[in-house]
Amino acid sequence: GFLLSKCCLPILKAKAKRVRTTFSSEQLARLEQEFARQQYLVGAQRGLLASTLHLTEEQVKVWFQNRRIKWRKQSLEQQQAKLARMG
């Protein structure tokens, strides 16, 4: 038989599945409040908000990314509804 040494086998790294963050109602209210003021939050502003809400900067960043997507989708749907009423 033919044996492969360990050096020749590919290393399989298990990708860690990220746990979905569940935001409290207070955190969501504050995130929405900040989003209403400005849709892009970067640098020190993001860090300050994250520490205030006891979240990581990554969690705040991803929330803002997802919220912008939702906002764009809602804006597009509103425009389409307006056009449908006109024509």
Domain 24-86 in CATH 3.10.50.40: no
- Cα distances (Å, whole numbers) of residue 63 to 39, 68, 69: 11, 9, 10
Query: Domain ranges in the chain?
Result: 24-86
| Per-residue model confidence (pLDDT) at position 3 | 59
Structure tokens at 43: 């640098």
pTM for the model stands at 0.74
| Per-residue model confidence (pLDDT) at position 1 | 58
Structure tokens at 10: 């590919």
Q: pLDDT over 90 for what percent of the chain?
A: 64
Name the average pLDDT for the chain: 89
pLDDT digits (tens, 9 = 90+) for 3-45: 555 566 566 777 788 789 999 999 999 999 999 999 999 999 9
DSSP 14: P
The span from the CA of 52 to the CA of 39, in Å, is 18
> Looking at the chain, which runs of residues are DSSP E strands?
none
